[in-house]
Amino acid sequence: MSARGHGAPVGVLGTPPTREDGPAIVTVGGGTGSFVLLSGLRRYVRNLTAIVAMSDDGGSTGILRDELGALPPGDVRQCLVALSRSPRLRDLFTYRFDKGRLRGHSFGNLFLTALAAVTGSFEDAVCEASTILSIEGNVIPVTTHDVRLVATLQDGTIITGERHLASTRLAPGRFMLSLEPQAQMNPRAAAAIQDADMVVVCPGNLYASVIPHFLVQGVADAVRTSPARKVLVVPLMNKVEHTAGFMAHDYVEEIERYAGGPVFDYVVYNTTRPPVDVLERYQEEGEPVGCDERKMAGGHYVSVGGDLLSRSLAEVTEGDLLRRTLIRHDPDRIARRIMQLYWR
């Protein structure tokens, strides 16, 4: 763990953190996983920075990218909402239109896209939105380049775009992910990782939400060389098309394959199985991630299991263009486990 002090904030986004705010924790991820983790951690620490992938092109975000040439606002919006101190504005930014030509769009996505056009910069838009939402912490795009996720299959087939990749069955080891075009890491993200006490890779879709960060040039090196403790939170559920049959250690191995070597000090995974009736509702999407403790033992990281499951299902938003995970981590359980690792 870094023993260094923390001075001025990284960049200009969000509330300037100070050493009195507690440990500096950086989350790496996107979508629901980052939202849940940030929602829990903000109860225990103020010095939070969310680094967000920029390769999403599904749902409302995909339409805005295709029609307006916008950078993807969806995952950034979720992180901003998670860190906002204004309940009314959180509700406003998550409001999703359920009819008419705006059906499926969230207000927050439209707002960020319009703000980027007005300010001339997506990063400036995130800065302005951070102030408007009164967030406590920072939200930083991992890159400001306009990129798309690309999968090259073993037979030479090329699949471009996260939304197309989502419906493609992927065989581990028989494809390679990349970004098009190649992208450089946002200097603010690099500085935040180097200045962190802990870097937490959030649970999420492995190939669509997690690994894309490590495809950005500079990210893997920044994470590996940071003096921070590095933690992976393993997803609760596998995805049928991508990670069917994966165990917790498989997630570690895939991320570290793209990162170019060992990364993590701790790997946190859930040990509680969701109720049978809930699994039946979810069976078309995937099955719970299991753990082979023999393969988790004796390696370069410490595996930490526990009951991290939320006892309530996520609500389905009317008009949402994406099919989202119903089974989620409990924000407080996962945050407390991460804080325990910090204080070890």
State yes or no: pLDDT of 223 exceeds 90: yes
**Residue 31, pLDDT score:** 81
Residue ranges in the chain assigned as alpha helix (H): 31-41, 59-68, 74-83, 87-94, 107-119, 122-132, 162-166, 187-194, 211-215, 219-225, 240-243, 248-259, 276-282, 293-296, 331-342
Mean of per-residue pLDDT scores for the chain: 88
Mean pLDDT across the stretch 240-253? 93
- Where in the chain are the domains? 19-342
Instruction: Report residue 97: phi and psi, to 5°.
Output: -65, 135
Q: Are 104 and 320 in contact (CB under 8 A)?
A: yes
**Residue 4, pLDDT score:** 34
pLDDT in tens, 119-157: 999 999 999 999 999 999 999 999 999 999 999 999 999
State yes or no: pLDDT of 239 exceeds 80: yes
| Amino acid type, 90 | R
**Residue 312, pLDDT score:** 75
pLDDT in tens, 2-35: 333 333 333 334 444 454 667 999 999 988 899 9
**Residue 20, pLDDT score:** 62
**The residue to which tokens 């990129």 are assigned:** 147
Q: Give the containing element (helix H, strand E) for 57.
A: none
**The residue to which tokens 């197309």 are assigned:** 164
**Residue 172, pLDDT score:** 79
Q: According to CATH, what is the number of the domain 19-342?
A: 3.40.50.10680
| Amino acid type, 216 | V
**Residue 316, pLDDT score:** 52
Q: Are 269 and 248 in contact (CB under 8 A)?
A: yes
